[in-house]
Structure 1
Amino acid sequence: MQLAHKVALVTGASEGLGLEIARAYAREGAAVALLARSSDKLQARAAELATEGHRVLPLVCDVGVTAQVEHAVQATLSTFGRIDILLNNAAVAIPGDITDQTDEDWNRLLNINLLSVFRGIKFVLPGMIAQRSGSIINMASIQGDRSWDHWTTYAAAKGAMKAMTRQLAGQYGPSGVRFNCISPGAMNTPMNQARREKEGDAFYEANMRLHALGRMGRADEVNGAAIYLASDASTFVTGTDLVVDGGLSVLPRA
């Protein structure tokens, strides 16, 4: 198992990419703290993993609230003694034309998609520096680099996340802490499933055409990248953005 004896903290862990990666980490031998806002979903997912014999700690946490993030980190340290892996995955989407959006729209999205990353890093980093090891993985998006109509807020947050990751990789490399991003393409997650229900099959078909592989990704298809960046196989990898987009970035925009 690639993550035996490691401890991971995963935000947005009750569904979608976060849930799939948390499962993958646990099945690779890590103890996993699962953070999410939905208590019912979180407890159900944690119970499922515990039944398989994995060490898990479900923590109800709104990553938009600093005190809750600090508490979750301290609870993880109290339970497992250390944190080796931080996966910042929690996100929201607020699409819309920039001329129609409000300060509240921007503040809400940036609070969850960007400031929550800062919060997680702020409270996890001191322990990683003390142990002179750690992998911090920020779930970005191919939208941080490509133009996509009506997604300015989301793209701005993901682009800033990538810049933050590069900056911190350079600053904390001498301390033994690695910082990397993963940039998925369009994935068949609950967020995109909701869009499909709202916009119809045309949404799904349009997204399939954007990918060289001719389809949207499954949520579990990011697991390999997340395990690699968390494991000792990537000990010389930092400051990078690992793209998992089914070839979306190699095709011209439709």
Structure 2
Amino acid sequence: MAIVTGAGAGLGLGMTVRLLDEGAHVVAGDLDTSRLDRLRHPNLISLPGDVTDPTTADALVSAALDIGTGRIDALFNNAGIALFAPAEELENAQWDRVIAVNLSACWYVASAVGRVMIAQRGGAILNTASGAGLAAVTDGLAYVASKHGVVGLTRSLAVDWGRYGIRVNALAPGFTSTGMTESFREQAPDLYAARASRVPLGGRAGTIDEQVAMALFLNSDEASYTTGLIAVVDGGTHALSAGYSPRPPVAL
């Protein structure tokens, strides 16, 4: 039994589909569940709700316990939003919303699921961080702060809950092809190309499937001795010093 938040699109939807393909029962939450509802899968329950409200976390847990075996094996804590603006123009309401969705809600869901996992003495939690959780991004103050918070939350929970057999890791995606990045490509093709050129591994954006593969591994039994890991999946971008540029891809 798995819970996925932010499951209505992008990475969260990709996680949900792969879990269902693997035979898992999934409770998937999002503000907009229309894409999830169209899956019409017998092992899927979709719950609309705002994860910044702690009662939403409780509802996800209740649904998982009601339809499953009384256990929650995995949480994919993926809900998040991005907002970019110069720091001097960032409004308090914008800051509050980004921190609420990306960090506070991450804790609300982890806390609710954690109570179950502590009682059952085991489970795996994966929080979606970002490359922006390890380094700054221009005009991304609130987003960067929130994702640095997710990294700290992940490491702290890994340390605190390891004694219960609970593993807590984070996925830190880099430049990845989603609906948002595709809009970026259409609206600013030159900037998109420049961004892609910064990726050492092929000068391209990653795919949802490449991110999901790591996510499923980290919450699987194959990663049974892995906890507190911030798994950066970014084609080598974080490994490259900002003062240098990668060589262009070689034609194969």
TM-score in terms of structure 1 length: 0.91
Aligned partner (choices 25, 33, 50) of residue 31 of structure 1:
25
Query: Displacement, 1:125?
Result: 0.7
Query: Displacement, 1:188?
Result: 0.9
Aligned partner (choices 222, 226, 231) of residue 237 of structure 1:
226
Note if 1:133 corresponds to 2:122.
yes
Provide the C-alpha distance between the structure 1 equivalents of 2:185 and 2:52, rounded to a whole number of angstroms: 27
Note if 1:102 corresponds to 2:96.
no
Residue 87 of structure 2 aligns to a residue whose secondary structure is coil
Provide the C-alpha distance between the structure 2 equivalents of 1:195 and 1:151, rounded to a whole number of angstroms: 16
> What is residue 66 of structure 2 aligned with on the other side?
78
Deviates more, 1:189-198 or 1:29-38: 189-198
Query: Displacement, 1:38?
Result: 0.8
Q: Equivalences for 1:161-200 in 2 at 5 Å?
A: 161-198=150-187, 200=188
Tell me if the contact between 2:76 and 2:127 (Cα under 8 Å) persists in the aligned partners.
yes
CA deviations 1:61-83 (Å, max 9, x no partner) are: 21121122211221221121321
> What is residue 228 of structure 1 aligned with on the other side?
217
Query: Displacement, 1:236?
Result: 0.6
> What is residue 204 of structure 1 aligned with on the other side?
192
Residue 89 of structure 2 aligns to a residue whose secondary structure is coil
Query: Displacement, 1:191?
Result: 2.5
CA deviations 1:25-68 (Å, max 9, x no partner) are: 12122111111111322311x31xx1xxx511111121121122
Provide the C-alpha distance between the structure 2 equivalents of 1:63 and 1:192, rounded to a whole number of angstroms: 24
Calculate the aligned-residue CA RMSD, in Å: 1.3
> What is residue 36 of structure 2 aligned with on the other side?
42
| Counterpart code for 2:2 | A
Note if 1:69 corresponds to 2:57.
yes
Provide the C-alpha distance between the structure 2 equivalents of 1:234 and 1:202, rounded to a whole number of angstroms: 40
Provide the C-alpha distance between the structure 2 equivalents of 1:91 and 1:196, rounded to a whole number of angstroms: 21
> What is residue 250 of structure 2 aligned with on the other side?
none
Tell me if the contact between 1:87 and 1:137 (Cα under 8 Å) persists in the aligned partners.
yes
Deviates more, 1:61-70 or 1:173-182: 61-70
Tell me if the contact between 1:136 and 1:180 (Cα under 8 Å) persists in the aligned partners.
yes
Provide the C-alpha distance between the structure 2 equivalents of 1:40 and 1:29, rounded to a whole number of angstroms: 22
Provide the C-alpha distance between the structure 1 equivalents of 2:59 and 2:102, rounded to a whole number of angstroms: 19
Tell me if the contact between 2:155 and 2:228 (Cα under 8 Å) persists in the aligned partners.
yes
Structure 2 unmatched ranges of 5 or more:
246-252
TM-score in terms of structure 2 length: 0.91
Provide the C-alpha distance between the structure 2 equivalents of 1:193 and 1:116, rounded to a whole number of angstroms: 27
> What is residue 248 of structure 2 aligned with on the other side?
none
> What is residue 123 of structure 1 aligned with on the other side?
112
Structure 1 unmatched ranges of 5 or more:
1-6
Tell me if the contact between 2:27 and 2:63 (Cα under 8 Å) persists in the aligned partners.
no
The number of residue pairs the alignment matches comes to 241
